[in-house]
Chains A and B, each alone.
Chain A
């Protein structure tokens, strides 16, 4: 980490977004993570995406569990709401938050330990309920915060810093989320911001649970030879299956997209994602093909990245519950809780 906070210097080159904010306004407090940590890089990608999308900081809810990754919401969008919850239990808190105020832009940050080890159950359920949030797993293959033990995402055969080999099968959050009925599932790499930023933007605008598994090297405990989550290994084995570009609602789709190659998918708010295949006939709307593709890539030792699966038509949690369109937080208390007389009447109806 650094001890000197990044100073604020107003430069003539500073640009403002549509709501008059500088990129710096989307940053948070000084990061306490190890210098060079992939998590910090993801933080920077989140800052860039939210700034470019001109999302008002006070409309954002940041949710996390426990871990180095789960600490990072403190390092972006200081003006947002935040809840740094219990290890592996962030999805419950997020569900409560979004049940209460469905108008918030929710961003959940978790780790591979937080979501795939202790919190695996919670992770599975928030995906299948399709809660409307962006769910980022900062995946480094280890429990960083507790000094580098293998997590559930560590690949079989990968080695710890001191040489121990992992013999447990690994959980792939991307394959898991697709098979659980996830509506938006992607993989990125902290070291490839050009790819990650549009993924984050699309994930924010997707209505439903957008899971992005981001390979995020731990410089201190998992960036050595023998690791399959290091900068060098990931760069060597990374393979982008589908390239995604994000086009905000008001913007023209530029001529750079060849209609033969790029497929536009319109999201609920009118923004579009342009999907460009880099691989034969990969189709991110075909669930079984996606799973098959992931399996083939795995057997070849590739780290596939890009938007792996997306379905804009799946209902999200509020649709399934049939809750009111108004955020509960906007409803006067008397209306929300009409009193014991009203309860008695309701119960009478059910008898």
Chain B
């Protein structure tokens, strides 16, 4: 097999499973180590550099990093990456003096539509470079869905305000209560660039018999949550049905409980394995005694005397093979009484305010055509990001879109090619301190994942804004940080140093190393000492070894980064080196920016 090219930053990046899975590539192991040292402010800043909203995301991030976490492949639950992020945010000190100094304006003007996390990230990157950023927001408060839809019992207002204000206070020209009704008119104002961060604001309808007659008691989830958030709705009937089983449904059912409902059912068309909601959101809802009813497909709203009395459902049966539905049939019908229904079956983006003759192309689903890398639309200087770009995703994706769009906006304003972007930069530095000392906590800690404490049920529903999760206490933090395997402390191999003594193979607790005669990939895989369980995980193949011409092969999937191979190796052929990845931001594209350099 070909010798692995580890000079490509992607190679070692991929080994850091959480960072690879995080859309904004947050340096998770680094901030976890800082938390372990009690350096909460530093840990917060490492987060902020990538994900901009650590306090918010430490509570409500979709956390794609956790299912990817290496710890999950050691027969345990993943590291509580998200909760640790909250620890950094909750315990950090003042960061005022770490914020960038805002320079005089550079004369370039950027208009941003919507004050959601995508637009705010663009401002975060561009205002400190001298750009004049004007944000138009239809609502009276900034934050987008983070404020209008994510309930305050999951995301307290103080946290939200703090992190949003920090960006606005850099000098953003924020125009609240200002809906943009015409793109044409906005373009006529002569901005150098326009960023569309207007989200996916249209909740999906369910047009079944009785829909119009019962309109008073049928609510569209995201609109209803918004009304609750801004205090326009303060109660709901006792018996509530939530249609749909995604994350919005989870917020709707839990919010209902806080507005007076006492019998809440979430109605799912399919069996549990096909739910869209994250496991933890489902668990949290079920802990509050929400009933999740499966295999019920909505058929009609039942109205008596002009008032909603319930809904009828078709009871479904499915054939499932290999985790896929291969057949389905209706096996019955059921009436379920209720006072209110909340529809939480998805959102779409909608752009009635963008004229279709501006050179901004829309595809056949009426979604704008946007370049995935540069975020530019088909019209020069008009960019899209967040839910507005490729449909509803989540906050962390919107943030990454913001970073990338900011680079594009900068390049556009400076008259440079949008794809002339600085590549990701990799630094490697040995973590060897002495004979048997490494500057990271390399011993494998078998502790199980710590459990987050919640406010008792009895207290929880008294006030809408009572935050349910209590955060980790000091003891929990101390254990949880040690569960991180430090995947960024890489095993780096130097071919010509190896004397093929097998010491590393024997000490490796997961048998992830093998020395074999070189062969084509399938044969090499067949000869690995431990079977290769995850074909998507990389193999690290050395060049020919000096004494026998065989090769060293490492299956990255199994490595727990314990460093024992390096510690055992008599010749230091294996070394533990930290991979530090630098993801360029808009500011790094300034001609005056310091070039990314080696730090070790």
* A residues adjacent to B (C-beta < 8 A): 2-4, 6-13, 34-38, 40-41, 43-44, 190-191, 193, 217, 219, 223, 231-232, 235
B74, B443, B505, B570: the one within 8 Å of A4 (CB): B443
Residues of B contacting A40 in the complex (Cβ-Cβ under 8 angstroms) = 503, 506
B37 to chain A, nearest CB (A): 20
B446, B501, B509, B562: the one within 8 Å of A36 (CB): B501
Residues of A contacting B73 in the complex (Cβ-Cβ under 8 angstroms) = 11-12
B507 engages A2 (CB within 8 Å): yes
User: Could you name 16 residue pairs across A and B whose Cβ atoms are closer than 8 Å?
Assistant: A2-B436, A4-B442, A4-B564, A6-B507, A6-B509, A6-B564, A7-B509, A9-B74, A9-B75, A9-B509, A10-B74, A13-B511, A36-B570, A37-B503, A38-B501, A232-B499
In whole angstroms, what is the CA distance A28 to B563 when docked?
A: 20
B444, B531, B548, B570: the one within 8 Å of A34 (CB): B570
With most chain A CB atoms within 10 A of its CB, the pick from B436, B442, B507, B569 is B507
B502 engages A41 (CB within 8 Å): yes
B558 engages A219 (CB within 8 Å): no
A7, A10, A13, A219: the one within 8 Å of B570 (CB): A219
A217 engages B501 (CB within 8 Å): yes
**In this assembly, does B263 line the interface, its C-beta being within 8 Å of a C-beta of chain A?**
no
With most chain A CB atoms within 10 A of its CB, the pick from B506, B563, B568 is B506
**In this assembly, does B400 line the interface, its C-beta being within 8 Å of a C-beta of chain A?**
no
**In this assembly, does B60 line the interface, its C-beta being within 8 Å of a C-beta of chain A?**
no
**Nearest chain A residue, comparing its CB with the CB of B436:** A3
B567 engages A7 (CB within 8 Å): no
A8 engages B503 (CB within 8 Å): no
B253 to chain A, nearest CB (A): 35
In whole angstroms, what is the CA distance A185 to B533 when docked?
A: 41
Known: A2-B564, A6-B564, A35-B567. A11 touches B499 (CB 8 A): no
B442 engages A11 (CB within 8 Å): no
B573 to chain A, nearest CB (A): 10
In whole angstroms, what is the CA distance A282 to B73 when docked?
A: 50
**Nearest chain A residue, comparing its CB with the CB of B571:** A36
A221 to chain B, nearest CB (A): 12
Known: A9-B444, A9-B560, A13-B558. A191 touches B501 (CB 8 A): yes
Residues of B contacting A41 in the complex (Cβ-Cβ under 8 angstroms) = 501-503, 506
Chain B facing A: main interface SS: loop
**Nearest chain B residue, comparing its CB with the CB of A75:** B506
**In this assembly, does B530 line the interface, its C-beta being within 8 Å of a C-beta of chain A?**
yes
In whole angstroms, what is the CA distance A234 to B74 when docked?
A: 38
Known: A235-B547, A235-B548. A11 touches B75 (CB 8 A): yes
In whole angstroms, what is the CA distance A34 to B548 when docked?
A: 23
**In this assembly, does B510 line the interface, its C-beta being within 8 Å of a C-beta of chain A?**
yes
The total number of A-B Cβ pairs within 8 Å is: 94
**In this assembly, does B544 line the interface, its C-beta being within 8 Å of a C-beta of chain A?**
no
B258 to chain A, nearest CB (A): 42
**In this assembly, does B90 line the interface, its C-beta being within 8 Å of a C-beta of chain A?**
no
B512 to chain A, nearest CB (A): 9
**In this assembly, does B588 line the interface, its C-beta being within 8 Å of a C-beta of chain A?**
no
A9 engages B510 (CB within 8 Å): yes
In whole angstroms, what is the CA distance A223 to B500 when docked?
A: 12
B502 engages A193 (CB within 8 Å): yes
Residues of B contacting A219 in the complex (Cβ-Cβ under 8 angstroms) = 499, 501, 570
**Nearest chain A residue, comparing its CB with the CB of B443:** A4
In whole angstroms, what is the CA distance A190 to B443 when docked?
A: 28
Residues of A contacting B530 in the complex (Cβ-Cβ under 8 angstroms) = 11, 13
In whole angstroms, what is the CA distance A261 to B503 when docked?
A: 35
Residues of A contacting B569 in the complex (Cβ-Cβ under 8 angstroms) = 35-36
In whole angstroms, what is the CA distance A235 to B444 when docked?
A: 35
Residues of B contacting A193 in the complex (Cβ-Cβ under 8 angstroms) = 502
In whole angstroms, what is the CA distance A12 to B75 when docked?
A: 7
In whole angstroms, what is the CA distance A217 to B558 when docked?
A: 30
In whole angstroms, what is the CA distance A7 to B505 when docked?
A: 14
Cβ < 8 Å to A, chain B residues 426-461 = 436, 442-444, 446
In whole angstroms, what is the CA distance A232 to B562 when docked?
A: 29
In whole angstroms, what is the CA distance A342 to B500 when docked?
A: 62
B207 to chain A, nearest CB (A): 47
In whole angstroms, what is the CA distance A151 to B54 when docked?
A: 65
Residues of A contacting B503 in the complex (Cβ-Cβ under 8 angstroms) = 35-37, 40-41
A11 engages B74 (CB within 8 Å): yes
A44 engages B501 (CB within 8 Å): no
Cβ < 8 Å to A, chain B residues 549-600 = 558, 560, 562-564, 567-571
In whole angstroms, what is the CA distance A8 to B548 when docked?
A: 31
B496 to chain A, nearest CB (A): 13
In whole angstroms, what is the CA distance A157 to B38 when docked?
A: 60
**Nearest chain B residue, comparing its CB with the CB of A34:** B570
Residues of A contacting B74 in the complex (Cβ-Cβ under 8 angstroms) = 9-11
Residues of A contacting B564 in the complex (Cβ-Cβ under 8 angstroms) = 2, 4, 6
A40 to chain B, nearest CB (A): 6
A222 to chain B, nearest CB (A): 13
A2 engages B568 (CB within 8 Å): yes
Residues of A contacting B558 in the complex (Cβ-Cβ under 8 angstroms) = 11, 13
Residues of B contacting A232 in the complex (Cβ-Cβ under 8 angstroms) = 499, 547
Residues of B contacting A4 in the complex (Cβ-Cβ under 8 angstroms) = 436, 442-443, 562-564, 567
**Nearest chain B residue, comparing its CB with the CB of A27:** B506
Q: Which 7 A-B pairs have the closest CB atoms?
A: A36-B570, A7-B444, A44-B506, A36-B501, A2-B567, A35-B568, A13-B530
A36 engages B442 (CB within 8 Å): no
Residues of A contacting B502 in the complex (Cβ-Cβ under 8 angstroms) = 41, 44, 190-191, 193
With most chain B CB atoms within 10 A of its CB, the pick from A3, A13, A191 is A13
In whole angstroms, what is the CA distance A13 to B505 when docked?
A: 16
In whole angstroms, what is the CA distance A12 to B510 when docked?
A: 10
B528 to chain A, nearest CB (A): 10
In whole angstroms, what is the CA distance A11 to B533 when docked?
A: 11
Residues of A contacting B506 in the complex (Cβ-Cβ under 8 angstroms) = 40-41, 43-44
A29 to chain B, nearest CB (A): 13
B446 engages A7 (CB within 8 Å): yes
In whole angstroms, what is the CA distance A131 to B558 when docked?
A: 44
Residues of B contacting A35 in the complex (Cβ-Cβ under 8 angstroms) = 503, 567-570
In whole angstroms, what is the CA distance A7 to B531 when docked?
A: 20
B499, B567, B568: the one within 8 Å of A231 (CB): B499
In whole angstroms, what is the CA distance A2 to B442 when docked?
A: 12
In addition to A6-B564, A35-B503, A36-B499, 15 A-B residue pairs with Cβ atoms within 8 Å of each other are A3-B436, A4-B443, A6-B509, A7-B443, A11-B558, A12-B533, A13-B531, A35-B567, A36-B568, A38-B501, A190-B501, A190-B502, A191-B501, A219-B499, A223-B499
